[in-house]
Chain A
Amino acid sequence: NDCYSQSYPQLYEPGQRSLYFSKGAFIKCALHSCYSSLVLFFVPYAAVRDSVSTDGHDIADHQSFALLTQTCLTVTVCVQLGLDLSYWTAVNHLFVWGSLGMYFLVTFTMQSDGLHRLYASSFPFVGTAHNSLDQVTVWLTVLLTAVLCVLPVVVHRFLFMQLNPTINDKAQPPPPRRRARIRRSSTRCSGYAFSYAYGYGDLVTSKRFLRRPVPLRSAGSTPAGRSAAFRPAGRSAGYSPSGQ
């Protein structure tokens, strides 16, 4: 909010330097898209090629294949979206789960018998959802594509957070464990002659002073309901710049 934006002006630097919207960020996005597109076609292709359903019927027909690819895509996009959303309010929950639910609702409605009877030429996919979405292999394929598309992004982000933390990564609260350690009496020899506890001196003198939130209780504005810590973790398209 406005209080934290004023307290941490360094967070504006990446945007001013166009670090989120650079050629490098664009190429990374394009590469990820190419990879996802290839996965989203070839995994369903390989999964239904030469295969049949559990009662011997066709599973590799044009309409079922289209529905399978479409379902893989929608689920993968929702999972990737969930990964990018760093701030899940009730509104976010509604729209993400709602999108997924709406997709299945609309699919089943459009491929239902009733609508086909009303407007046959507009709803030629009658029966496709019913016949293919009860196959275990279809759902396993959806899960596989979602995992294949999303997990590399998770690995990439986690490794870059460890190896090359950006200003957004650094502006995180200290993990609860560390805070508890501060309040307990230390078990190791401390450099502080006059304290039993670990103290706050290391935080002040270390490079990670940003991690300690400045207590701004006076204005009466409390941060987001559940957590009192400051976690600005916004990312545009998930490709945060390296360095500060």
Chain B
Amino acid sequence: KYKLDNRKSNVDMFNLTGPSRTNRPDNTAFTQQRLPAWQPILSAGIVIPGFTLIGLAFIGVGVALFVTSQKITDLEIDYTGVAATSPCFKCTSFAAENCMCQMEFTLTTLFEGPVFFYYGLTSYYQNFRTYGVSKDGYQLSGDTYYFNNPQDSCAPYQYDSNNNPIVPCGSIANSMFSDTFQLYQVVNGMKKQVPLDGKGIAWWTDYNIKYSNPALVNGSFANAFSGTVKPVNWSKPVYELDPTDQANNGFLNQNFLVWMRQAALPKFQKLYGRIAEGDYAQGLPAGNYTLLINYSYPVISFGGTKKVVLSNVSWMGGKNQFLGIAYLVIGSLCIVMAMVMLIIYAKYKFTDDDEDM
């Protein structure tokens, strides 16, 4: 911009050496938007072969995923006990304490190992917002100040009726799954226990980084929790979760860690153990099996179900039909669209060429 100075002649308005010259941007490629550029166009020569290639690639991946998913075996055993004929029906009444029930199942072929043992719940909304924030991260990382002063996010599971602080506080910890399982193979009428390995079922980062136990007090782990009480729904305090193995006790208990990892969906399954040792290293051979359950976790009141899931895994993880089918469908659609576009392009191209003549 320039001032119209009355003292100068009108010619100065067009004088290129005046103040207007200094405001002109540099004549470089960057400032004049002349940078070398690649300009892709959606031309038929790119789009149609591109769609065909994507379609073929997707069909290939889809076939691989589908075949792999079909090969994964999984077995579900629902033991909620809703039906009166179910072996676990007797455990569903409120009066039943420490109720044991047995579910029987048969395997017709070898269940290839390593076999993973999960417990599954339905209609269980661990993803509910107020439930999800109801825990005290400081307590769970071993900060003893918060043992006596749990955070308000844990309410109403913060203090018990006698105003004692709860450790670990909050809804997630309080609702920890309490059923335990033992698996037996029936061999010649005798029950042979199938060992369930509970080590390493939680994430490494949870066990090593996110959660840690408080330091021992006077050589005793229980003393570190003095002045606190166990959560309302627990049968034993947190320092007795595994008295035999201190590496699996307290906040580092693998089952506790697996439970604290909040599920995203209302129907979920959580790892309980691995069958990969001893006689069962190759998997579960065909035969009759008995599942002995210590049924203590109530789900019928909210219409949920409980089940045990046995599964093996592959390079794509657990059994999931969706990805394979989705890839096949999208791949086929891509090829169909490529053909449609080719027909339309050819039709309109020849129409245009005819018009030119």
Interface residues of A (CB under 8 A from B): 1, 43, 45-66, 86-92, 113, 116-117, 120-121, 124, 126-127, 130-131, 135-137, 140-141, 144, 147-148, 151, 154-155, 157-159, 161-163, 172, 175, 202, 206, 222-227, 231, 233
Distance from A94 Cβ to chain B, minimum over Cβ atoms (Å): 11
Distance from A157 Cβ to chain B, minimum over Cβ atoms (Å): 6
Distance from B210 Cβ to chain A, minimum over Cβ atoms (Å): 5
- Most B CB contacts (10 A, CB to CB) among A64, A137, A226 go to A137
Q: Per a CB cutoff under 8 Å, which of A55, A172, A224 touches B41?
A: A172
Does A161 contact B341, Cβ atoms closer than 8 Å?
no
Find chain A residues with CB under 8 A from B201 CB: 56-57
Does B320 contact A137, Cβ atoms closer than 8 Å?
yes
User: How long is the Cα–Cα vector from A53 to B271 in the complex, in angstroms?
Assistant: 11
Does A231 contact B39, Cβ atoms closer than 8 Å?
yes
Does B65 contact A140, Cβ atoms closer than 8 Å?
yes
Distance from A150 Cβ to chain B, minimum over Cβ atoms (Å): 11
Does A47 contact B323, Cβ atoms closer than 8 Å?
yes
Find chain A residues with CB under 8 A from B41 CB: 86, 172, 231, 233
Does A50 contact B269, Cβ atoms closer than 8 Å?
yes
Does B356 contact A86, Cβ atoms closer than 8 Å?
no
Distance from A104 Cβ to chain B, minimum over Cβ atoms (Å): 18
Q: Per a CB cutoff under 8 Å, which of A49, A58, A59, A206 touches B355?
A: A206
Interface status of B138 (Cβ within 8 A of chain A): yes
Mostly helix, strand, loop or mixed at chain B's interface? mixed
Does A52 contact B334, Cβ atoms closer than 8 Å?
no
Interface size class on chain B is 35 or more
Interface status of B89 (Cβ within 8 A of chain A): no
Write the B204-218 contact mask toward A (1 if CB under 8 angstroms, else 0): 111001100000000
User: How long is the Cα–Cα vector from A121 to B141 in the complex, in angstroms?
Assistant: 10
Query: 25 A-B contacts, Cβ less than 8 Å apart?
Result: A1-B33, A46-B326, A47-B322, A47-B323, A48-B264, A52-B313, A52-B318, A53-B317, A54-B317, A56-B274, A57-B201, A58-B258, A59-B318, A62-B261, A91-B35, A120-B138, A127-B204, A127-B205, A135-B317, A137-B317, A144-B326, A158-B44, A159-B341, A175-B43, A225-B37
Does B337 contact A144, Cβ atoms closer than 8 Å?
no
Interface residues of B (CB under 8 A from A): 29, 32-44, 47, 51, 54, 58, 61, 65, 114, 116, 118, 126-127, 132, 137-138, 141, 201-206, 209-210, 258, 261-265, 267-271, 274, 311, 313-320, 322-323, 326-327, 330, 334, 337, 341, 344-345, 348, 355-356
Find chain B residues with CB under 8 A from A57 CB: 201-203, 271
Find chain A residues with CB under 8 A from B267 CB: 49-50
Find chain A residues with CB under 8 A from B65 CB: 140
Find chain B residues with CB under 8 A from A66 CB: 264
Q: Per a CB cutoff under 8 Å, which of A117, A131, A137, A159 touches B323?
A: A137
Does B36 contact A89, Cβ atoms closer than 8 Å?
yes
Select from chain A the residue with minimum beta-carbon distance to B320.
A51
Known: A65-B264, A86-B40, A131-B203. A162 touches B141 (CB 8 A): no
User: How long is the Cα–Cα vector from A65 to B262 in the complex, in angstroms?
Assistant: 11
Does B356 contact A206, Cβ atoms closer than 8 Å?
yes
User: How long is the Cα–Cα vector from A1 to B31 in the complex, in angstroms?
Assistant: 12
Does B205 contact A60, Cβ atoms closer than 8 Å?
no
Find chain B residues with CB under 8 A from A136 CB: 315-317
Find chain B residues with CB under 8 A from A90 CB: 35-36
Find chain A residues with CB under 8 A from B141 CB: 120
Find chain A residues with CB under 8 A from B43 CB: 175
Q: Per a CB cutoff under 8 Å, which of B40, B61, B261, B265 touches A49?
A: B265
